[in-house]
Amino acid sequence: MADNEKQKYYITTPIYYPSGNPHIGHCYTTIACDCVARMKRMQGYDVMFLTGTDEHGQKIEKKAQEAGTTPKAYVDDIVVNFKKLWARLGISYDRYVRTTDDYHIETVQNIFTKLYKDGWIYKSEYKGKYCTPCESFWTDSQLVDGKCPDCGREVTDASEEAYFFKLSHFAPKLKELLLDEEKNFLNPKSRVNEMIHNFIDPGLQDLCVSRTSFSWGIPVTFDDKHIVYVWLDALTNYISALGFMNDTYNDYEKYWPADAHVMAKEIVRFHSLIWPSILMALGEPLPERIFGHGWITFGDGGKMSKSKGNVIDPFVLCDRYGVDALRFHLLREMVFGSDMPYSNEMMFNRYNSDLANDLGNLVSRTVAMTNKYFGGTLPVEKEFTDADNDLLEQLDQLPDYVSENYGNLHFSDALERIFRVIARTNKYIDENEPWKLAKDDSMKPRLAAVLYNLLDSIRRVTILLTPVMPHTAPLIYEQIGAGEDITGWYDSAKKHLLPADVTVKAGPVLFPRIDVEKELKELEALAPQKEEAPSDLEPLKELTKYDNFAALDLRAVKVLECENVPKSDKLLKFKVDDGFGERQVLSGIAKYYKPEELIGKTLAMIVNLEPRKMMGFESNGMILSVKHGDGYKVIEFPDTVKPGSDIS
Ligand code: MSP
């Protein structure tokens, strides 16, 4: 079929915030889309699979500030990590959109201007809660105990000039869209009621689409103290990446509307209410379908849990168990629409039962028997019987079921069914007992038929597993002697495509068994140390120049006198010998030492701090001490260290 005759299929992940590195949750959505994209390609579709990063906004601006860098430099680094992870996971995306890309900026600016000219965007005032030190607006629902969620300080009512999009206008049309049974716009269906009851029925508010209180965003061309506020910028990626209103790409006509926007449930609202409204205002077609899956949750309250060996660095998991094991785990265990608590233990158990025992063993047993009984090449003469029919029928029913379920993101149903057929195939071995047939020369044609059926079953299920386990499939084909010409998607529906005199080739164990207890312990030992750090440790400070250290004069000093400061339960007053003379210094360690304990000791001190007055006494420097339990311990040197000795 020529390229231009192919049916197109356009699938997208959300564009992720590069405010931190990607984690297993981002992996799920991306692997899910990859699986669908791979299947559609195998089915002959002209696929566009888009992913990317959502790089503007106040949070990124702040993170960059904290890291002492520019927002662009900050996101550049993290985008590298996203791309590395996608490469590691075998994600076959066709295009990667960054909202800082010039073409995207151009599209957003053009859309904003068009919507303004057409009257869908108007200028008004944004009212919210404002935290002055953070220079941030918050909505009531974002506040924590009525305070700024970032710094915990009081917020005040404030307003700023802003542009608004007439979202409220679209409420009736949105309701109609969501309730259209035939169109089946939003999946799973349960989210339809949520959208209608929680957002549309209570009354849709117009949407604030610009801000003036921070600057990391796309400027509004005709009013450049404003930047375009997040969702208009972010959602537009799905069409900017195709070249809508920009000249960089030229695929809008070909791929739009999207066939599937995939995301987790928390952003379904933006995709099923705001996005269609923007498109309606632009007069453009709406996406076919929106999929809102559940969350992968981590330990109590959705937080990352370090207990139970739950090290969930995807790179570590891929390195130890293989990329396909991780892909399989996520797609097999996550039931579409529901949440799934992440558990390595669950992954190991399923790996052992499905991949090591059922699939891995089926392949290695079948190849081993073909080698043993026929020297690796089956004879052409075979005797098929009715005893083969049940297995063949189950295989026949599989491709349609899998295709439909992968396409609807019901991966766990599809995989469950595939593995039922794999179990059925294993049972076929036990039913036909090849080891008995091998003992009787007259049964050779039957034995050849049994092994041929087994090899061909493996071929047929492997085709259907390819979108989930793209790295494993070629390894299996190599072992069972299946060439490219018989491993296309639709070849799964056809029986007996392997050559009649097929030759097998034993290979490495596909899925070595996992010792669950041992692996859980080893993963626990790999848990990042910083997670284990007691929470009372001060965070590490930023790097500083050597000169800042060199400017401090650190010396050993001998305590000549020491007494409590009157009316202070904290301060001790010292007279010390600094090697050049005597000086007075105060230290807040009265709770941890009696004065007489310290007299005669040689301690560490910063001697060139500017004098400070405390409780009426001048302090010339600072005695160094280290946090110890609930208190402090002075840093002590042996008696033989001369006062005034340099500490470096
Ligand atoms: N930038 C917005 C999306 C804009 S799309 C036009 C955003 N970014 S995000 O980095 O927070 O990504 C959210 C998405 O990442 C979720 O919708 C989901 O696809 C994926 N996931 C992030 N954590 C996840 C889990 N714990 N579980 C499942 N999916 C998760 O929102």
Which residue owns the Cα nearest ligand 1 atom 15?
Answer: 26
Query: From CA 185, how far away is CA 36, in angstroms rounded?
Result: 18
Which residue owns the Cα nearest ligand 1 atom 29?
Answer: 25
| Residue 357 CA to ligand 1 centre (angstroms) | 34
Helix, strand counts (H, E) of the chain: 24, 24
CA angle 103, 87, 340 (to 5 degrees): 100
Whether the Cβ atoms of residue 94 and residue 47 lie closer than 8 Å to each other = yes
| pLDDT attached to residue 536 | 62
Which residue owns the Cα nearest ligand 1 atom 16?
Answer: 264
| Residue 535 CA to ligand 1 centre (angstroms) | 28
Helix (H) or strand (E) holding 119: none
Kindly calculate the radius of gyration of the chain based on its CA atoms and give it in whole angstroms.
33
| pLDDT attached to residue 166 | 97
Helices 411-432, 444-465: crossing angle, 10 deg rounding: 170
The dihedral formed by the CA atoms of 637, 639, 642 and 643, expressed in degrees to the nearest 10? 70
| Residue 373 CA to ligand 1 centre (angstroms) | 53
DSSP label of 542: P
Query: From CA 569, how far away is CA 183, in angstroms rounded?
Result: 75
Ligand 1 pocket check for 422: Cβ under 6 Å:
no
DSSP assignment of 199-259, as one string? IITT-PPPEE-EESS--SSPBPTTSTT-EE-HHHHHHTHHHHTTTTTSSS---HHHHPSPS
Q: Model confidence over 298-342: pLDDT tens digits?
A: 865 444 444 444 558 999 999 999 999 999 999 999 999 999 999
Q: In what order do the strands lie in the sheet with 186-187?
A: 95-98, 46-53, 8-16, 260-264, 290-293, 186-187
Ligand 1 pocket check for 239: Cβ under 6 Å:
no
Ligand 1 pocket check for 21: Cβ under 6 Å:
no
| pLDDT attached to residue 461 | 98
Query: From CA 627, how far away is CA 537, in angstroms rounded?
Result: 9
Whether the Cβ atoms of residue 556 and residue 637 lie closer than 8 Å to each other = yes
DSSP assignment of 130-180, as one string? EETTTTEEE-GGG-BTTB-TTT----EEEEEEEEEE-GGGGHHHHHHHHH-
Cα 388 to chain center, whole Å? 44
| Residue 265 CA to ligand 1 centre (angstroms) | 9
Testing ligand 1's pocket by substitution, the residue of 267, 295, 329 carrying the most ligand atoms inside 8 A of its CB is 267
| Residue 302 CA to ligand 1 centre (angstroms) | 14
Query: From CA 24, how far away is CA 127, in angstroms rounded?
Result: 37
The dihedral formed by the CA atoms of 116, 118, 119 and 124, expressed in degrees to the nearest 10? 0
Ligand 1 pocket check for 93: Cβ under 6 Å:
no
Query: From CA 407, how far away is CA 38, in angstroms rounded?
Result: 11
Cα 615 to chain center, whole Å? 54
Ligand 1 atom with least separation from CA of 13: 19
Query: From CA 365, how far away is CA 319, in angstroms rounded?
Result: 26
Preceding omega of 257 cis (within 30 degrees of 0): yes
Whether the Cβ atoms of residue 411 and residue 331 lie closer than 8 Å to each other = yes
Q: Exposed/middle/buried for 228, CB within 10 Å: 0-12, 13-18, 19+?
A: buried
| pLDDT attached to residue 310 | 58
CA angle 591, 596, 600 (to 5 degrees): 120
Ligand 1 atom with least separation from CA of 296: 27
Adjacent-strand bridge partners of 53: 16, 98
Ligand 1 pocket check for 18: Cβ under 6 Å:
no
- Rounded to 5 degrees, φ, ψ at 136 are -130, 140
Task: Count Cα neighbours of 186 within 13 Å in the Cβ-side half-sphere.
Answer: 27
User: How long is the chain?
Assistant: 648
Whether the Cβ atoms of residue 450 and residue 435 lie closer than 8 Å to each other = no
Ligand 1 pocket check for 17: Cβ under 6 Å:
yes
Query: From CA 231, how far away is CA 211, in angstroms rounded?
Result: 12
Testing ligand 1's pocket by substitution, the residue of 28, 111, 343 carrying the most ligand atoms inside 8 A of its CB is 28
| Residue 26 CA to ligand 1 centre (angstroms) | 6
From the CB of residue 319, how many other CB atoms can be counted at a distance below 10 Å?
A: 11
Helices 411-432, 389-407: crossing angle, 10 deg rounding: 170
Tell me which residue of 40, 55, 4, 48 sits closest to 238, measured CA to CA: 48
* Tokens found for residue 621: 């420097």
Whether the Cβ atoms of residue 158 and residue 129 lie closer than 8 Å to each other = yes
Residues of the chain with pLDDT under 70: 1-4, 299-311, 528-536, 539
Ligand 1 pocket check for 287: Cβ under 6 Å:
no
Tell me which residue of 158, 159, 154 sits closest to 143, measured CA to CA: 154
Whether the Cβ atoms of residue 386 and residue 535 lie closer than 8 Å to each other = no
pTM of the model: 0.81
| pLDDT attached to residue 299 | 66
Q: HEC states along 302-331?
A: HCCCCCCCCCCCHHHHHHHHCHHHHHHHHH
From the CB of residue 121, how many other CB atoms can be counted at a distance below 10 Å?
A: 23
| Residue 268 CA to ligand 1 centre (angstroms) | 10
Testing ligand 1's pocket by substitution, the residue of 11, 16, 50, 275 carrying the most ligand atoms inside 8 A of its CB is 16
